[in-house]
Amino acid sequence: MSERKTDDATLIEALRILARTLTTEDGVIPACLSEAADRLAELVEERRWVPVAERLPEEGVEVLCLIQPECACVGYQTRVFGQVVWNDEGALFRPTHWMPLPPGPEANGKTELPTD
């Protein structure tokens, strides 16, 4: 079996086509496929790298930044002014892309803390 990776847009569209064409007596499976396609599209959008030329994060929001020319992916508490980001130590960076931080680990609605 060859490994083939399908891009997100193709996978989402395939789920939507399957949801429209599949028929079941109760309609539950097509509804679930349609909901899965919608949720996958939301997750893909939430987790994509946003070019700074497209838009900037809101001021004071923690984000991951792709920094050029170092190409390092780092998280900072940011204050955004134009296309320049300062971290808490006052270091100056010029990010090319950014993305929101993912939510922290949670169990039963509470953040899990490491135990020694």
pLDDT of residue 35: 94
Residue 34 lies in a domain: yes
Residue tagged 């940011």 (tokens): 78
Q: Is 115 inside any structural domain? A: no
27 in a structural domain: yes
Q: What is the pTM of this model?
A: 0.59
Alpha-carbon span 109 to 112, nearest angstrom: 9
* Per-residue pLDDT at 62: 75
Whether 59 and 74 map to the same domain: the answer is yes
In tens digits, the chain (116 residues) has pLDDT values of 457 678 899 999 999 999 999 888 888 998 999 999 999 999 998 888 888 888 888 777 778 877 765 555 555 555 554 556 666 666 666 778 888 887 777 655 665 666 65
Half-sphere exposure of 94 (CA within 13 A, CB side): 3
**Do 67 and 28 lie in a common domain?**
no
Co-location of 36 and 61 in the same domain: no
User: What is the extent of the structural domain holding 91?
Assistant: 50-100
Residues 55 and 75 in one domain: yes
Domain-located, residue 111: no
How is residue 74 written in tokens?
């780092």
Total domains, the chain: 2
